[in-house]
């Protein structure tokens, strides 16, 4: 084989690898049911090696397979040496716990754990059924009544560059809530308007809302918010405050 042929093969292989790396980058769609989850929802198990309760979390040092890492979950009673199960989860790098005065090089945030495989499946199925029912009803149903000139989600989607880094007030129906991930709640709202297939807005907030609530939020619109691991929100309302 000639030197020229070998060079062509090497360049072709580099191109293929580059394409695979570029395809790994993903923007999060607002209607995605796993918006803050990097991993798929298959059930996994781990053993607790150490735990700390602080700042609204239980921090676990766990072994999963051959890997040892830190995990953060809502306050939960656990036992060292015991096996637990979970699904989903999101890894974050260089996460700082101000309460512990510790920075974790890598930590996984998980919504819940269970002492049994079936316990994780049952809870996940019940939650999915509850959320999907209310979400489908809201998206397919009538629009929220708004006063003349009152901001709509479609206005924000159409003119997102104009709204970037500005504070807005927006009224919507809560269709999904992810609690206490990265020290905040992730609230998804709709108001019956949309742009293309985008119909919901994600809000991060220290306040809590329930699926089905109709609320007004005030916060800052940010674009292309990167949470690491190639997951980016193209539009997000940060530090949302509930007005009414």
Q: What is the mean pLDDT of each run of 10 residues along the chain (244 residues)?
A: 45 38 39 37 87 87 94 90 88 80 87 82 47 38 69 93 94 83 83 87 91 90 77 86 86
Judging by beta carbons within 10 Å of its beta carbon (0-12, 13-18, 19+), is residue 110 exposed, middle or buried? buried
pTM of the predicted model over 0.75: no
DSSP strand E in the chain: where? 26-28, 43-54, 57-64, 67-73, 83-87, 90-97, 102-109, 167-181, 184-190, 201-205, 214-226, 231-242
- Selected from 3.30.390.50, 2.40.50.140, 3.40.1260.10, 3.40.50.1000, the CATH number assigned to the domain covering 141-242 reads 2.40.50.140
Q: Are 191 and 237 in contact (CB under 8 A)?
A: no
SS3 of 156, please?
Answer: helix
**Residue 109: how many CB atoms within 10 A of its CB?**
23
- pLDDT, residue 121, reads 61
Distance CA 233, CA 176 (A): 16
Task: Give strand pairing partners of 172.
Answer: 215
Contact (CB, 8 A) for 87 and 45:
no
């Amino acid at each position: 084989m000639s030197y020229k042929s070998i060079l062509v093969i090497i360049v072709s292989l580099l191109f293929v690898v580059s394409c695979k790396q570029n395809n790994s980058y993903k923007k999060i769609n607002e209607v995605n049911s796993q918006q803050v989850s990097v991993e798929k929802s298959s059930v996994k198990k781990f053993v607790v090696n150490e735990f700390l309760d602080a700042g609204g979390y239980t921090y676990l040092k766990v072994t999963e397979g051959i890997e040892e890492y830190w995990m953060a979950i809502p306050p939960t009673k656990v036992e060292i040496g015991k096996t637990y199960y979970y699904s989903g989860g999101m890894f974050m790098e260089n996460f700082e716990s101000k309460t512990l005065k510790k920075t974790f090089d890598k930590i996984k945030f998980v919504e819940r754990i269970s002492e049994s495989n079936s316990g994780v499946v049952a809870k996940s199925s019940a939650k999915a059924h509850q959320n999907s029912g209310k979400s489908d009803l809201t998206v397919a149903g009538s629009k929220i009544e708004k006063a003349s000139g009152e901001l709509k989600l479609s206005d924000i989607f159409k003119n997102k560059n104009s709204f970037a880094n500005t504070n807005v007030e927006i009224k919507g129906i809560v269709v999904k809530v992810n609690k206490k991930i990265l020290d905040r709640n992730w609230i998804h709202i709709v108001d019956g308007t949309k742009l293309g297939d985008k119909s919901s807005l994600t809000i991060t907030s220290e306040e809590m809302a329930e699926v089905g609530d109709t609320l007004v939020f005030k916060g800052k619109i940010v674009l292309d918010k990167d949470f690491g691991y190639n997951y980016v929100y193209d539009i997000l309302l940060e530090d949302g405050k509930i007005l009414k």
